A and B are shown apart, each in its own frame.
Chain A
Amino acid sequence: MSEIEANAIDTFGDVIQEEDLYPDSNLDTNEDCQDCD
């Protein structure tokens, strides 16, 4: 296992989602879909 992989697993686990990386971002809001959702 590479150092980077070991670090990633240490920090985030073996499966990483966008929410883990961007906890403060509104990735799924109405604001994004400005004219259709």
Chain B
Amino acid sequence: MKPFSEKEKGIIVRPLDDRFYYAFNFNNPSGIKILSHRAAKRLIAITEEGDSYDKNNKIDSSIIKSGLFHKTNTASDKMTHLSVWLHVTNSCNLSCYYCYIPNLRKPADSDTIHNLSMKTHDAKTISHRLISYCEEREIKNLHVKFAGGEPTLDITLIREFCREISKQPKKVNVSYGMITNGVFNANQVIPILKEFDITLSVSIDGYKSTHDDIRFHVINKRKNGTWDLIWANIENLLSVGIMPYLLYTITPSNINDIHKFSDLAHKLNLGYRLSLERSKKLYEPEIKKKVVTKLTELYCELGRNMNYELPISRYARFSEWNLKKKKNLACSAGRNYIAISQRGYVSSCQMGMNNKYGNIMTDGLELPMVMMKKNGYTSIIAKPILRNGICNSCEYYYVCSGGCPEHTVNTFGTIDTLSPWCTVFGSLIPVYMESIARQMLRKIRSKK
């Protein structure tokens, strides 16, 4: 990258063709901007040649209005929303080797599921505690994600939780999501999704055989892949107008299939997010290089050819990246994101459920939230402005934000070091940005 003037350090301007450019501010991310040739010339004059803005100049006004120069702040302590991972059950019907949920019972048989699930009475109590906390703190939006384990193993509990919420005064806007492996009884699950407007994310990790190698269930001691079952359920969902969001965890075994998976998803107008495996295993540089190569090929292809009515930022997301937000940390764990176990214990996120900061049923939520900010393990996660590691000096800091903090802590014992996937992030960020810019340009060019 070229050196920047102190004044506008962090702004890049790159050509897309001979008429259009794109710009991005790494210090204050506010999204990709497509610039006309004359706007790009003005921006370069301002950022690299020391020209001053002219408020009366129409082009300068457009650049300023776009937010490119805005000094955006990272999230403040004031909570505007609360997002909760509600661990409906600590059991799963599959046994994916890289699952990051600690102490999960997998695969669970039908006899043990009940013992490993949240109790209905507890779910009701938790719903009241959450609403009270939001009301007291004037938090307007509460998002509850039903997860586990496999949450559909106890779908009736989810129904009871939602019903209990709906009985309470509507001072807080409550929305619901669910993260599932897609192996469920559609006749039982779909009516509840529809009744409570629950959005659905389905994990698909490969394409047919690679997916089946990772995501299988055991019937009579034999491995049975879940690909066909999941896609039958996706068809069921689509037939009633539910558009699931797909989550693809990239592993060395399924990296070759991301193109085929992407094509299939987009053929059905389904969005997805690609994430890198978060196990403690450290991969060799050759494997990381292959991951970079495959992802680069994919995003170059998407930028050039993906349906421009499906924006990459939503339909082909990568990791926790959001080019419109300035983030010190990839997620908001411990601030406006928490996990609640099936027994009511509060943690900063689902990956850290071994670290409990109180029980929402007995302690409420105020105390656990304070504990997270004070605890040595989570204090930086809960208050990322305190970060002071090598990532802080990286030009890409506010885009990748060091990746998943729990993954880094679990692997290296500290957050203030590089993510195990740092080299992949660093190589991919420019590619990802350009793919979004190229798709935007194709959409612009389509307007006659």
Contacts and interface: CB of A to CB of B under 8 A. Distances in A.
B143 A15 contact: no
Interface in A1-37: 1-2, 4-5, 7-9, 11-19, 21-22, 25-28, 30-37
Given A15-B65, A16-B34, A28-B322, A35 B145 contact: yes
Contacts of B349: 36
A36 B34 contact: no
A36 B320 contact: yes
Contact of A15 (B35, B324, B445): B35
B447 A37 contact: no
Nearest to A29: B314
Contact of B332 (A12, A19, A26, A37): A37
B311 A22 contact: yes
A32 B314 contact: yes
A4 B320 contact: no
A27 to B, nearest CB: 5
B429 interface: no
A4 B445 CA distance: 6
A26 B66 contact: no
B314 A37 contact: no
Contacts of B172: none
Interface string B32-71: 1111111100000000000000000011001101111000
Nearest to A11: B447
B313 A27 contact: yes
B267 interface: no
B93 interface: no
A34 B275 CA distance: 11
B404 A34 contact: no
Contacts of B58: 14
B314 A27 contact: yes
Interface residues on B, range: 35 or more
A11 B33 CA distance: 15
Given A5-B37, A15-B39, A27-B314, A36 B404 contact: yes
B299 to A, nearest CB: 16
B281 interface: no
A21 B34 CA distance: 11
Nearest to B324: A28
A18 B437 CA distance: 9
Contact of B63 (A11, A15, A28, A35): A15
Interface string B15-36: 0000110000000000111111
Contacts of B59: 14
B280 interface: no
B68 A27 contact: no
Contact of A14 (B35, B179, B404, B448): B35
B331 A36 contact: yes
A9 B36 contact: yes
A34 B179 contact: yes
Given A21-B440, A34-B201, A36-B330, A27 B324 contact: yes
A35 B201 contact: yes
B440 A37 contact: no
Given A30-B83, A32-B314, A35-B350, 14 more contacts: A1-B37, A8-B36, A11-B444, A11-B447, A14-B39, A16-B35, A17-B31, A25-B311, A28-B324, A33-B331, A35-B145, A35-B179, A36-B404, A37-B320
Give the 3 A-B residue pairs with the shortest CB-CB distance, closest first.
Answer: A14-B39, A34-B201, A36-B331
Interface of B: 19-20, 31-39, 58-59, 62-63, 65-68, 81, 83, 85, 143, 145, 147, 175, 177, 179, 199, 201, 245, 247, 271, 273, 311, 313-314, 317, 320, 322, 324-325, 330-333, 337, 349-350, 404, 436, 440, 443-445, 447-448
